Amino acid sequence: MKKKILLAVIAMSLSCSFMSYAATGWIEEGERWHYYKDEATLAVDCFVRFEDSVCYLDSEGNMVMNQEIQHDGKQYSLNEQGQVVNSWVYSWDSCYYYADASGKLLMNTTTPDGYHVDANGVWNPDASSNEGKAEDTYQHNDEELGYQALKLLYKTLSNPSVLEVGYVKCMDISYAVGNGDSKKHTDARLVLINYSASSSFGASMDKYYGYEVKSDGSFLLRTDPMKVYSAATLNSATNIVTLDQTALLKRIVAEANGSAY
């Protein structure tokens, strides 16, 4: 069978007077495009980046085109070229991308819902370079901060099938990072979420998520806040407000369904 290899990595080794080849990446076999994670592993039931777009491969590894699909409980639209359109997507290489109406990935810009993607089109919730700017966010009420934090958690978890929230708390914190002359003091309003989530990948229990908003309006996402904030920092927090997580979740569901809350 004739194979055309696109953007593939060819690994060559020369030993004992013979040469072996192993191909990975996108390969056209017959009239179908497939993606090989390695020479023996075909990517199936997942999203894979293709140049400046993201495509979906079905249970047989075939690229899906011109269809509406359901994946992990969310609906996606694929155009005639097999590109995801108008959606966030989480690819098999653990990267978040946003595809526009033409199927092209946004790069080095801000997405329609306010997130910065880098020059490669990647949004990384843990990277310090993704520290954002939320206009007037610090002045918003705690319910609005909690709502924004819960939405970001949902996106970070890539739309879990089940999300149980133990609590959503807002608090004023003060902490220092660094040592000596490089020590930096920070005051912020922190939204701390205790949650458990489950998806097709299994369950993760007793986790925490932090949404830190500084007085200048900048924010920082903390996917593992307990590694950042010491027990002393949290114990000394002031102005603690516990929000109604049920009302926040209902608001998010209503927005996702396009209905009024």
Structure tokens belonging to residue 22: 């192993």
* 255-260 average pLDDT score: 64
Determine what percent of the chain is predicted with pLDDT higher than 70.
Answer: 73
Task: Look at residue 137 and tell me whether its pLDDT is greater than 70.
Answer: no
pTM above 0.85, yes or no: no
Of 168, 148, 104, 155, nearest to 125 by C-alpha is 155
pLDDT above 50 (res 1)? no
Mean pLDDT, rounded, for 16-25: 44
Q: What are the tens digits of pLDDT across the range 73-97?
A: 778 899 999 999 988 888 888 888 9
- For range 244-261, the mean pLDDT: 76
The average pLDDT across 46-57 equals: 92
Is residue 184 scored above 60 in pLDDT? Answer: yes
Q: Give first-to-last CA distance, the chain, whole Å.
A: 56
Has residue 130 got a pLDDT over 60?
no
Q: CA 111, CA 92: separation in Å to the nearest integer?
A: 21
Of residues 78 and 37, the one with the higher pLDDT is 78
Higher-confidence residue: 136 or 15?
A: 136
If you average pLDDT over residues 92-119, what whole number do you get?
85
Q: Above 80 in pLDDT, residue 239?
A: yes
- Structure token pair of residue 201: 């990948």
Q: Which of 2-6, 64-68, 94-98, 108-112 has the highest mean pLDDT?
A: 64-68
Average pLDDT over residues 60-68: 91
Mean per-residue pLDDT over the chain, rounded: 76
Q: How confident is the model at residue 134 (pLDDT cuts 50, 70, 90)?
A: very low
Tokens standing for 152? 């970001």
pLDDT band at residue 155 under the 50/70/90 scheme: confident
Average pLDDT over residues 173-195: 80
pLDDT band at 235 (very low <50, low <70, confident <90, very high): very high
Q: Residue 156's pLDDT is what?
A: 73
